[in-house]
Amino acid sequence: MDKLTLNSYAKLNLYLSVLGMRRDGYHNILTIFERISLADKIVLKNRADNKINLICEKKGLPLDHCENLAYKSAKLLQQSFKLNKGVDIEIIKNIPIGSGMAGGSSNAAYTLIGLNKLWNLKLKQTQLTSLAAKIGSDVPFFIYDSSFAIGKGRGERIKPLKSLKRLKLWHIIAVPDLKVSTPRIYKKWEHFKDMNMLTTPNYDVKILISSLKKRDFSALNKAIFNGLEPVTMTLYPLVRRIKNKFLSLGARSALMSGSGPAVFGILSSKKEAVSLAAQFKKEKSCWRFFFCYTL
Ligand code: C5P
């Protein structure tokens, strides 16, 4: 096999509670990840030499080797297993960059999965997961072939929610043209905590999981939570306006994903999602929309 093409899916966080800062500067979190159909394409091609070569036409993607997480994944494999292999990594971007949907982390994870096959490394899931955790906190989730998972630690300790295997949620996602820096939001979270400006979840994460199991959308819409919202929404008031727009157009709830700025609504059927999308299309807006579902 000389060439491999993979879908590199995005994620949403249905729940994200920041528990506190750790000694290493990261924050312990409790999160529920959902893998969604919005995806980049990654094309991996073996090279005759041992270079790692990145190809992407989209502006804004870090092609600088130190920054690009797909490059870092390939380099980590080369170094960890002393490989004398090279690869062209082409990334066809659809996931908005710096939007809170972990596009870069997903590219890193699917590069690991793809190179494991292309280079015939035969690495087990546990090995791939520990390599993924070295690249970034959101990377391990994508290594598991699971639509929903609990994330603990800095988000890298994953427990797949196997009982939700057949659950399919529909989403409208609105993404303003803003790039939000995750480290900046976590740093500001500390300040917000000191100033008592944070919100706490109304419901335990168990309530959220049980509402997903029961497909109880009314309970689900009450239980979704993101503790980073007050921070990002204060720094970028447009994000709050987008959330309010969802509610005024009839969405039962809306939530920011990760450190933002993407905001999503949860719909129980394609019909409901199509109808909300039609409402959004009538609006003159400066943000992009995506229509997607659990994958
Ligand atoms: O792990 P990742 O490289 O994606 O994290 C980027 C930055 O976001 C970290 O350097 C840290 O500042 C912040 N972060 C955090 N706690 C987390 C995840 C990320 O403080 N759980």
- pLDDT the model gives residue 61: 72
- With bands split at pLDDT 50, 70 and 90, how would you rate the model's confidence at 64? low
Residue range(s) of every CATH 3.30.70.890 domain in the chain: 170-293
- pLDDT the model gives residue 138: 98
- With bands split at pLDDT 50, 70 and 90, how would you rate the model's confidence at 218? very high
What percent of the chain lies above the pLDDT cut of 90? 90
Best residue for ligand 1 mutational test, from 13, 15, 19, 26 (most atoms within 8 Å of Cβ): 26
- pLDDT the model gives residue 255: 98
Residue nearest ligand 1's atom 4 by CA: 136
- With bands split at pLDDT 50, 70 and 90, how would you rate the model's confidence at 221? very high
Q: What is the mean pLDDT of residues 91-120?
A: 97
Are the C-beta atoms of 40 and 103 separated by less than 8 Å?
yes
Q: Please tell me the distance from the alpha carbon of residue 169 to that of residue 160, in angstroms, as a whole number.
A: 17
Is the pTM here over 0.75, yes or no?
A: yes
- pLDDT the model gives residue 282: 86
Say which CATH class 170-293 falls into. Answer: alpha beta
Res. 186: pLDDT tops 80: yes
Average pLDDT, the chain: 95
pLDDT in tens, 224-244: 999 999 999 999 999 999 999
For residue 52, the cross-strand partners are 87
- pLDDT the model gives residue 281: 84
- Asked if CATH classification 3.30.230.10 holds for the domain at 3-164, the reply, yes or no, is yes
Residue nearest ligand 1's atom 14 by CA: 26
Res. 63: pLDDT tops 70: no
